[in-house]
Amino acid sequence: MKDTNEFSEKTKKNLMLRAAHRCSLPNCRKLTIRPHSDGVNAVITGRAAHICGKAPNSARYLATQTPEERSSQSNGIWVCGDDHDGIDKDELKYPVEVLLDWKAKHELWVGQEDLVPKLPWFKLTTFNGLALPSNGSFSVSGSDNIRFRDHELTLTASSRHELVDLHLRIQFPERIVSCEVGSQVAGNEIYARPDRIQFVASFTGGGQVERIGELPPTNLWVITIARLLTNRPICLRLRSIEFEESSSFQKSITGRPDHCYTHIIGKYLYEDRQQYFEREFVAVITVDKGRSFAIHPSEEPGIRPLIVSHST
Ligand SMILES: [Zn+2]
């Protein structure tokens, strides 16, 4: 006789597909499908578990439910074989509210295509004029206005994942004279510094090495950001000065975005199932004739698991 409390094939399939063939338990999310060794078929290793049990002696059984309610899609959750056994036997560890919450969160996770976080979103804006400090006096000459340019670089986490340990290496189209953090979350650590080659004097005998004068600004900078939270963009204010000596350099990056070699190379970590993964990316910076900068992110597939212990 047909068990009217059991899920129909259609319901099982819907649960399986809505879970994207993955276990719905947040610390598992194991794939529940694999290729059959016959080279043709697939083996489904997951199962639809009852949230409220289907028989009087089963976990979370609710006597007031009708067979239709018991076998409805809303009473099911897609899980791997191992977790199915646990869910069936331990209602203290897996109460109804917890299973419903995990199911909803898992479907949300699948729906946002967030199995791998999207790359951070960059925006680079060049201002028409110099930004004045909010306090204190500041004088600007006409030549300053011509030589300097102010830019704003905004980084936004474009998916639900928090990105950690961002490391950006910028090769800017002009020398950067200053870099300030325009907005940041308290407790976040953001550092920006010129990425200089350290020249080491080599000589024999005694002597003294002395640096004379200030080092000129460089267009190579390193920026590190401890964490980039969802909906909390980080904004950096950059001031650049035109390369005086290299009109050829300017020409090579103008109008040739496909061959442009000014860029941001970066990497960051994200957490999934208590493990950290590293992703790398490149974003190309272009300049137009009016020295307005723009940024063109391009995805670089560079995902690899890292041996990083999970801090709890
Ligand atoms: Zn599982």
Helix, strand or coil, per DSSP, at residue 136: coil
Q: Which of 68-72, 221-225, 247-251 has the lowest mean pLDDT?
A: 247-251
Would the pLDDT of 20 be above 90? yes
Find the 22 Cα to ligand 1 centroid distance in Å.
8
Residues 6 or more apart from 96 whose CB is under 8 A from it?
51, 52, 60
CA 134, 140, 144, 145 torsion-angle sign: positive
Please give the average per-residue pLDDT across 81-105, as a whole number: 93
Find the 248 Cα to ligand 1 centroid distance in Å.
59
Q: What confidence tens digit (pLDDT) does each residue in 29-49 have?
A: 899 999 999 999 999 999 999
Find the 85 Cα to ligand 1 centroid distance in Å.
10
121-203+215-305 topology per CATH: Immunoglobulin-like (2.60.40)
Would the pLDDT of 218 be above 70? yes
Q: Which of 64-68, 153-157, 237-241, 245-249 has the lowest mean pLDDT?
A: 245-249
Find the 12 Cα to ligand 1 centroid distance in Å.
16
Find the 30 Cα to ligand 1 centroid distance in Å.
6
pTM value > 0.85? no
110's enclosing H/E stretch is helix 96-111
Please give the average per-residue pLDDT across 207-229, as a whole number: 82
Instruction: Give the domain ranges of the chain.
Output: 9-111, 121-203+215-305
Would the pLDDT of 75 be above 60? yes
Query: To which residue do tokens 């325009």 refer?
Result: 182
Residues 6 or more apart from 8 whose CB is under 8 A from it?
71
Q: What confidence tens digit (pLDDT) does each residue in 167-203 have?
A: 999 988 888 999 988 866 777 889 999 987 665 556 6
Find the 115 Cα to ligand 1 centroid distance in Å.
16
Greater model confidence, 20 or 307: 20
Greater model confidence, 38 or 158: 38
pLDDT at position 307 is 32
